[in-house]
Each structure stands twice: as structure tokens, then as C-alpha cells.
């Protein structure tokens, strides 16, 4: 990936993701936040079921669409984050959106019940 996209990972926060519908098989686009933490990229939410997460569980490949500092579509793979230490680490990092998540739900509830994937980019973005 080019330097512009790598810079967007460090500075942007809102993206669109286009997943394949778990039941329909049709493309589904969702606006969502992402977290870029110490070179790793995550998509998460508050506790509860989410269509985007069900889609990623059924079809791990999706399109990560930057739309703030740069307009770029990057093919990616979503890997569910299921282990408690990584989930707790994500929700314990200093980041503006983490503060928002922690106002919406208790840390232990976020760790136990939030949908979460780590994003791996085609072409090896950091």
C-alpha cells in the first residue's frame, strides 16, 4: 500500500466497509469507525449483534474504503478477535473512540460481548 493510505490509517477514523451479506450474498456497505493501534487495525462495536460482523464471519474478505483524508478502496481480510487479552488490550488503548465506547458500556462488557475483528490488508499495509 502506498504512503497516503498508510498515513490515512494513522489519522482517519471513519470508513465505509463493503462486506458480502451472510444470508443474501449481496454487497452491503456500512459506515463504521476503525482503530489503528500500534500498527494494528481493528473494527469493533458496542456489545450486541451487528450485521457487518455476521457478514465478516461468513465471508472474511471485504473492502476497506477510506473517505476522509484520502479516497481509496483497499481489499482486506477480517479475522475475529476472540481472545480476552487482545480484546481487553484494544479497549484499554488511548484513543478518542475508546473513550466513547467506555461511556456506552462497561469495560468488562465491551471485552466479553463486543463484535471485533482485526483487519489484514492485501498488500501488507501496517
Q: Please give the Cα distance from 75 to 120 (Å, whole number).
A: 9
To the nearest 10°, report the CA torsion of 82, 88, 94, 98.
Answer: 70
Please give the average per-residue pLDDT across 40-69, as a whole number. Answer: 96
pTM of the model: 0.93
CA distance 41 to 73: 15
Burial classification of residue 51, based on how many CB atoms lie within 10 Å of its CB (0-12 exposed, 13-18 middle, 19 or more buried): middle
Average pLDDT rounded to a whole number, residues 17-26? 96
Return d(Cα 49, Cα 54) in angstroms, integer: 8
The CATH number corresponding to 3-121 among 1.10.1660.10, 2.30.110.10, 1.10.10.60, 3.40.50.2300 equals 2.30.110.10
| Segments making up each domain of the chain, as ranges | 3-121
What proportion of the chain, given as a percentage, has pLDDT over 90? 86
71 pLDDT exceeds 60?
Answer: yes
**CA–CA dist 44, 87 (Å, integer):** 10
Amino acid at each position: 500500500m502506498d504512503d497516503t493510505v498508510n498515513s490515512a490509517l494513522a489519522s482517519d477514523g471513519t470508513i465505509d466497509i463493503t462486506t458480502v451479506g451472510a444470508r443474501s450474498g449481496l454487497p452491503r456497505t456500512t459506515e463504521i469507525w476503525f482503530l489503528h493501534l500500534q500498527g494494528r487495525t481493528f473494527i469493533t462495536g458496542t456489545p450486541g449483534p451487528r450485521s457487518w460482523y455476521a457478514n465478516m464471519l461468513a465471508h472474511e474478505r471485504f473492502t476497506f474504503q477510506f473517505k476522509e483524508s484520502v479516497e481509496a478502496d483497499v481489499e482486506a481480510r477480517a479475522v475475529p478477535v476472540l481472545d480476552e487479552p487482545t480484546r481487553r488490550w484494544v479497549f484499554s488503548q488511548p484513543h478518542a473512540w475508546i473513550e466513547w465506547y467506555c461511556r456506552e458500556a462497561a469495560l468488562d462488557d465491551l471485552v466479553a460481548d463486543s463484535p471485533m475483528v482485526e483487519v489484514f490488508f492485501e498488500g501488507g499495509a501496517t
